[in-house]
Amino acid sequence: MKDGFHYISETQYQLLEDAEELYNNAPVGYLSFLPDGTIIRINKRLLSWLDLRIEEVLNRLKFSDLFTIGGKIYYQNHVFPLLMMQGFVNEVNFELSCRDKSIKPVLVNALTIKDKFDHPLNFRATITDISDRKKYENQLLYEKKKAETERQRFKLITDLLPELVVTTDHKGSLHFANIKALKYFGTYEANSIYDFFNFVFPAHRFLLLLNWKRSLSRIVPLEKEVRLLNAIGKYEWYLVKAIPYKEEESGDSRWLWVGISISNQKHLVSKMDEFLSIASHELKSPLTTTKAYLQLLLRNYSDHTIRKYVNKTNKQVEKLEILIKDLLDVSKIQADQMQFRFEMASVNGLLIDTIEALKTFSETHKIELKTLKEDVVVSMDRMRMEQVIINLVNNGIKYSPDSSKISVAIEKHAHYVVISVSDYGIGIPSSEVNLLFERFYRVTNALHVSGLGMGLYISQQIVHKHGGEIKVVSEVGKGSTFSIYLPVHS
Ligand code: ADP
């Protein structure tokens, strides 16, 4: 000290300047205030947030003047007593009230500076801007609320549906169930302890799982008829549909399952099967007797006119016989009682014999057969395979009234043979190709031609029992090719 002045060195001066610079421009607000709240020091950062000039603040405003009304009250009732008692406060949420009436959320840390008698001299506060954090928190809250609203909406909608609706995770653990499903399964809540597959009839479980895995890998919807266990321990028929989706909130993969009750349809179908089975058996016996009487007539009467009418009657009886045989086959397939007698038989032989027989009956069409140069022998029930080929050729004839040719060909591949029957007739609309093989299905463009829609169903079942497949390629107005794929075991 000299002349009553403090003299400081250049370096000391520089250090002071740096400290001042840091104080003013730090990314946080600093201020000091007296026990009565009067602000005695404030940094530039805080002033810029408040949009105030230093002379408007120093010795004019109190600490609590910087906050919203709620903040003022909170400061008086909680923060100030704490500062007096414990000497500090940490991370207290406040809102700064700025000049332009905008509000800035901040966190306040404050410390009491005391004299040697433990009396508070002043307080120092650090103020951190948390606008971004608040914005993020608000956004999160908003998203959460939105997801909750969506969940509520989903629940409301699905609770109104008559179907069972559940969602599961990718393993099948239940995640959500609508009221109908909760009641059906007899559970009070959708809980992950429940595995959806446990409600599926054990014999259907494996197939459903298989289909599920398949649709998972191909990302296609699943559709399967299965029996599901109800609350009183009985299994009921459901058509189960499922689609995968990603949950927006968590990004988790989920499955939405909808179960449509088909018990009534199943009951009706089984009644129809029962009726078919009884009716076809009942029809068969009088027809056999009629045939026997017709044989007797032929044997005992040589009169030309009588023989002519008996032969005509015989033809009609044969048609009836074919129909009844088909009906019987359908009911046998339904009951899984169709018998097969497999033997190793030549494919050329099968085709040559069958087509020869068909040629003698066909008056309108020429049937061309292309056999294999090198014959192949496959395991087959020859009578049943004949039945399939007769059905395909007869269909070709029936549904190509304006053409006169049917082509039958055999192709040999390494592990299978393909027998194809082509016609040049009315063809099949592509929208109906997948329905052709369903029981009693008849295509809309062919309803004027008589038929019952049993032949292709029976044919497909027979081919499946041979471990094969039957496919069709068709174009309306151009014709159709039905191909039978049969496995060759070397
Ligand atoms: P049906 O011929 O007795 O009606 P099918 O089961 O043999 O029964 O055939 C089912 C339906 O498929 C037929 O009603 C017909 O509409 C269609 N269809 C079958 N074969 C052909 C074909 N070759 N060309 C066009 N439509 C066909």
pLDDT at 299 over 80: yes
Q: If you measure from the C-alpha of residue 265 to the centroid of ligand 1, how many angstroms do you get, rounded to a whole number? A: 25
Q: Which of 450, 443, 428 is nearest to 323 (CA)?
A: 450
Distance CA 75, CA 64 (A): 7
pLDDT at 210 over 90: no
**Contact yes or no for 296/313 (Cβ under 8 A):** no
Cα→Cα distances 159→147, 149, 181, 190, 228, Å: 18, 15, 9, 13, 19
Q: What is the pLDDT of residue 335?
A: 86
Nearest-CA residue for ligand 1 atom 10 is: 453
pLDDT at 28 over 70: yes
pLDDT in tens, 380-410: 999 999 999 999 999 999 999 999 999 999 9
- 188: pLDDT confidence band, cut at 50, 70 and 90? low
Distance CA 208, CA 200 (A): 9
Nearest-CA residue for ligand 1 atom 3 is: 451
pLDDT in tens, 258-297: 999 999 999 998 898 889 889 988 998 899 999 999 999 9
Q: What is the pLDDT of residue 292?
A: 94
Pocket of ligand 1 (CB under 6 A): 391, 395-396, 399, 423, 425-428, 436, 441-443, 446, 451-457, 480
Q: What is the pLDDT of residue 487?
A: 95
Nearest-CA residue for ligand 1 atom 8 is: 453
Q: What is the pLDDT of residue 192?
A: 61
Q: If you measure from the C-alpha of residue 423 to the centroid of ligand 1, how many angstroms do you get, rounded to a whole number? A: 12
Residue 52: partners with Cβ closer than 8 Å, 6 or more residues away: 61, 99
Q: What is the pLDDT of residue 170?
A: 83
- What is the best residue among 423, 443, 484 to mutate for testing ligand 1's pocket, by most ligand atoms within 8 Å of CB? 443
Nearest-CA residue for ligand 1 atom 16 is: 443
Q: What is the pLDDT of residue 73?
A: 95
Nearest-CA residue for ligand 1 atom 9 is: 453
Among 155-159, 173-177, 310-314, 415-419, name the one with the lowest average pLDDT. 173-177
Give φ, ψ of 53 to 5 degrees: -95, 155
Number of Cβ within a 10 Å radius of residue 410: 21
Nearest-CA residue for ligand 1 atom 7 is: 455
Q: What is the mean pLDDT of the chain?
A: 91
Q: If you measure from the C-alpha of residue 170 to the centroid of ligand 1, how many angstroms do you get, rounded to a whole number? A: 42
Q: If you measure from the C-alpha of residue 396 to the centroid of ligand 1, how many angstroms do you get, rounded to a whole number? A: 8
Q: What is the pLDDT of residue 9?
A: 76
Atom of ligand 1 nearest to the CA of 425: 24
Q: If you measure from the C-alpha of residue 337 to the centroid of ligand 1, how many angstroms do you get, rounded to a whole number? A: 25
- 213: pLDDT confidence band, cut at 50, 70 and 90? confident
Residue 382: partners with Cβ closer than 8 Å, 6 or more residues away: 343, 345, 350
pLDDT in tens, 52-91: 999 999 999 999 999 999 999 999 999 999 999 999 999 9
- What is the best residue among 395, 398, 437, 441 to mutate for testing ligand 1's pocket, by most ligand atoms within 8 Å of CB? 395
**Contact yes or no for 195/185 (Cβ under 8 A):** no
Q: If you measure from the C-alpha of residue 394 to the centroid of ligand 1, how many angstroms do you get, rounded to a whole number? A: 9
425-432: average pLDDT: 95
Q: If you measure from the C-alpha of residue 461 to the centroid of ligand 1, how many angstroms do you get, rounded to a whole number? A: 15
pLDDT in tens, 324-363: 999 999 989 988 889 999 999 999 999 999 999 999 888 8
Residue 147 or residue 35, greater confidence: 35
- 432: pLDDT confidence band, cut at 50, 70 and 90? very high
pLDDT in tens, 156-170: 999 999 999 999 988
Q: What is the pLDDT of residue 151?
A: 87
pLDDT at 146 over 80: yes
Q: What is the pLDDT of residue 191?
A: 67
**pTM for this entry:** 0.63
Q: If you measure from the C-alpha of residue 442 to the centroid of ligand 1, how many angstroms do you get, rounded to a whole number? A: 6
Q: What is the share, in percent, of the chain residues with pLDDT greater than 70?
A: 97
Place of tokens 């390494």: 414
For residue 109, give both structure tokens. 């840390």
pLDDT in tens, 4-16: 566 777 777 787 7
pLDDT at 480 over 90: yes
* Cα dihedral sign, 372-375-376-382: positive
Q: Which of 73, 144, 87 is nearest to 115 (CA)?
A: 87
Per residue, what are the HEC states of the chain? CECCECCCCHHHHHHHHHHHHHHHHCCCEEEEECCCCEEEEECHHHHHHHCCCHHHHCCCCEHHHHECHHHHHHHHHHHHHHHHHCCEEEEEEEEEECCCCCEEEEEEEEEEEECCCCCEEEEEEEEEECHHHHHHHHHHHHHHHHHHHHHHHHHHHHHHCCCEEEEEECCCEEEEECHHHHHHHCCCCCCCCCEHHHHECHHHHHHHHHHHHHHHHHCCCEEEEEEEECCCCCEEEEEEEEEEEECCCCCCEEEEEEEEECHHHHHHHHHHHHHHHHHHHHHHHHHHHHHHHHHHHHHHCCCHHHHHHHHHHHHHHHHHHHHHHHHHHHHHHHCCCCCCCCEEEEHHHHHHHHHHHHHHHCCCCEEEEECCCCCCEEEECHHHHHHHHHHHHHHHHHCCCCCCEEEEEEEECCCEEEEEEEECCCCCCHHHHHHCCCCCCCCHHHCCCCCCCCHHHHHHHHHHHCCCEEEEEEECCCEEEEEEEEECCC
For residue 286, give both structure tokens. 């009088």
314-324: average pLDDT: 91
Q: What is the pLDDT of residue 5?
A: 64
- 3: pLDDT confidence band, cut at 50, 70 and 90? low
